[in-house]
Chain A
Amino acid sequence: MEWALLIEQFLNGVQFGVLLFLLAAGLTLTFGIMDLVNLAHGSMYMLGAFFGATIFLWTGSFILALVLAVPIVAGIGIITEVTTLRTLYQRHHLDQVLATFGLILFFNELVQIVWPLEGLTVPVPEYLSSTVPLPFGIEYSLYRLMIIGTGILLAIGMWLLVTRTRLGMLIRAGASDREMVYALGTNIRLLFTLVFGLGTALSALAGVLMAPILGANSGMGEQIIIVAFVVIVIGGIGSIRGSFIAALITGLIDSLGRSFLDVILALFIPINAAEAAAPAISSMLIYIFMAGILFFKPTGLFGKQPN
């Protein structure tokens, strides 16, 4: 076993994990508190990437891209919530899926109209483009390390917000008993809009951060949102802590699976068959893991138990 490769893949997994967390946090809050299945959450990630990339290309400042793109997209999210999603809270989940799927199509077409069809490619900011030497002779991308750091800081921030503030108290209360929060006279509309805006901002931030790695493309949101749903199901719907842990586990399974599954399979079956099967199986691993978790804990790792 090569330690350098193992550690590097571990870092890759953590980086993918924190990205998933940024998306899953908003998703789990809207699903847990507002009981809203919002497929269009990934569109906010895509808009984040497009606005971030555009501002970065125009001004040359990545910080400015972060500072401007996140509030712009959060604003778009809040407008969407007020105009469209608010009417859906009392509706059946299937109606919500249909309506928010419609929003995905709308936003995908919108970016194809506003931006070039082939999307945008942006470089990593100059001061983050180098690699950092780590033990075992690893050279790791500074930019990806920055994403890991940012993600972990935000996770801590979210944890403090949820456990130490009045807003967080209401969020927790909303997640565990929505009706009771209504009954106690909280301005639930404002709470929902705030929560939605917060979730959108995190999602947009993830988009801005990923733009230099993946580029900005129409349809980039759907690919990741499915995995984010897997994360919130594993973590337990409504639980920030659950989605953080589930996101890291999912990221690690994906990275390590893609890297080492062929080697592991080769212990049991012929090497040729292992190399052929590994790519197919590794893309299924997270779903297999989710099925396993649901078998033992139907509400996810940190989900509230049914009464």
Chain B
Amino acid sequence: MKKIFITIAVSIFLIAPNAYSATVKLGFVTTLSTPAAVIGNDMRDAVELALDHIDNKMGSTDVEIVYGDDEFNPQKGKQATERLVTQEKVDIVFGYIWSHVLLASATTVLDAGKILISANAGPSQLAGKGCHENFFNISWQNDQTPMAMGEVLNQRGVNSVYVVAPLYAAGKNMVAGVERTYKGEIVGIDMTKWPDQIDWSSELSKIKAANPDAVFIFYPGRHGPAFISQYEQSGLAGKVDLYSVFTIDSISLPRFQSAGMNGVLGTTMTQFWAPDLDNAANKKFVDGFKAKYGKYPSFYAAQSYDAVMYIKSAVEAVGGDMSNVDGLRAALEKADYDSVRGEFSIGSNHFPIQNFYSREVVEDENGVWTTSVREEVLTMHQDVYASECNM
């Protein structure tokens, strides 16, 4: 008799966690310490808002979220990812600001047979030859946004450009992107040490000597404000136009505004999304974010919010059965949900095919600096690495 009890008890113990798992567990990796945590906090805020909006449910399944901190460091990011996969046993891992962190962490998730979704980083490696059936990107491929910027420069008749970007995976993609579409002359390219270098006196002097029509930069996070301050001090502002990608956002704009750096107003960047992009999902997101946190969401936040909605569409498609990875994958490939970016589709390499817009820094009706969408620059654009991907 005793033996039977033990057998039953053991059986229940073994079966129960699988049979009665009515929750979906999601792991979100971002930067939650170091000054770069200001981006990670924005992303986490957006995830929390998304969970509020869906009442913590995907279909009839409850959602549990676990956060991992990459400490702005590829090794630490990989460790955080390992913890989520092996200890927390999450069903899907998503997030990732930094390309080098994502590249270091991807195999940990993919080798475990789980789904990985990038909510920001879009390195060329994972879009081309290194693509994977369980990897999805819900933001953009790194090259696309600077490619859109190259088109803007062409349209505005800019004859020569000087490029400054940090020397790491994403920086290289950004330079490659603008080189691919820009038809004028690139008179100089400087790649600076990342993230250590925060004084660009040398590069700014070289720009002055080269005397280009415009300067193109990519400096995410706190590097952006520092570069733009120094650009204004160098005497280049007002003489040479500054164009940027992922440098001026709703995180850095309040800093510029409180420091009274009016040179930022009117500058142009490109992006797949803007706070005033006109669709119902985006309005709900932006209004909700402003109401809950009292500030504009950044594009990082938009992507994180969108990623939760994206995952929700897949979880509902498989009826909450997270062991059905094939079903999840098929649903993620369809991307059947209302995105904050409006219409888009998922390409063969699992990166989005979507519009890119030019945005301008403006002052809103309440006197707060924000970005406003101007023109559609690239229409339903697919990244150039998709053809190299064999899945």
Contact = CB atoms under 8 A, between A and B. Distances in A.
B226 interface: yes
Contact of A143 (B190, B197, B206, B233): B233
Contacts of A2: 209
B38 A118 contact: yes
A131 B234 contact: yes
Contact of A57 (B37, B225, B258): B258
A12 B202 contact: yes
A119 interface: yes
Interface string A228-242: 000000000000000
B226 A214 contact: yes
B21 interface: no
A206 B191 CA distance: 27
Contacts of B209: 2, 4-5, 8
A8 B208 CA distance: 10
Contact of A258 (B203, B222, B226): B203
For B38, B205, B225, B259, which residue has the most chain A Cβ atoms within 10 angstroms? Answer: B205
Contacts of B225: 121, 215
Given A131-B235, A213-B233, A259 B35 contact: no
B168 to A, nearest CB: 11
Interface in A227-281: 254-255, 258-259, 275, 279-280
B193 A279 contact: yes
A218 B206 CA distance: 29
Contact of B199 (A118, A123, A131, A213): A213
Nearest to A141: B233
A8 B189 CA distance: 19
B22 interface: no
A141 B258 contact: no
Contact of A123 (B167, B197, B229): B229
B240 to A, nearest CB: 12
For A12, A16, A57, which residue has the most chain B Cβ atoms within 10 angstroms? Answer: A12
A154 interface: no
Contact of B35 (A212, A214, A219, A275): A219
Interface in A102-124: 112, 116-124
B255 A120 contact: yes
B206 A5 contact: yes
B37 A117 contact: yes
A305 interface: no
Contact of B255 (A118, A143, A214, A280): A118
B302 to A, nearest CB: 18
Contact of A117 (B38, B189, B197, B235): B38
A95 interface: no
Interface residues of A, number: 43
A275 B258 CA distance: 38
A223 interface: yes
Given A8-B209, A16-B201, A214-B199, A117 B35 contact: yes
Contacts of B232: 129
A219 B222 CA distance: 12
B199 A16 contact: yes
Given A129-B233, A215-B222, A215-B226, A121 B205 contact: no
Given A118-B35, A139-B235, A217 B203 contact: no
Given A117-B41, A259-B205, A217 B222 contact: yes
A214 B233 CA distance: 11
B255 A121 contact: yes
A9 interface: yes
Contacts of B205: 5, 8-9, 12, 259
A144 interface: yes
A15 B202 CA distance: 11
Given A5-B209, A279-B167, A118 B251 contact: yes
Interface string A144-167: 100000000000000000000000
A283 interface: yes
B208 A139 contact: yes
A223 B260 contact: no
Interface string A271-297: 000010001100100000000000000
A275 B233 contact: no
Interface string A120-138: 1111100001110000000
A213 B138 CA distance: 36
Nearest to A15: B201
Interface string B187-199: 0011111001111
B160 interface: no
A258 B198 CA distance: 13
The list of the 5 closest CB pairs from A to B, nearest first, reads A131-B235, A12-B201, A5-B209, A118-B38, A121-B255
13 contacts: A2-B209, A122-B259, A123-B260, A123-B261, A139-B208, A141-B233, A141-B234, A214-B198, A214-B226, A220-B198, A259-B202, A259-B205, A283-B197
Interface of A: 2, 4-5, 8-9, 12, 15-16, 57, 112, 116-124, 129-131, 139, 141, 143-144, 212-215, 217-220, 223, 254-255, 258-259, 275, 279-280, 283
Interface of B: 34-35, 37-38, 41, 167, 189-193, 196-199, 201-203, 205-206, 208-209, 222, 225-226, 229-230, 232-235, 251-252, 255-256, 258-261
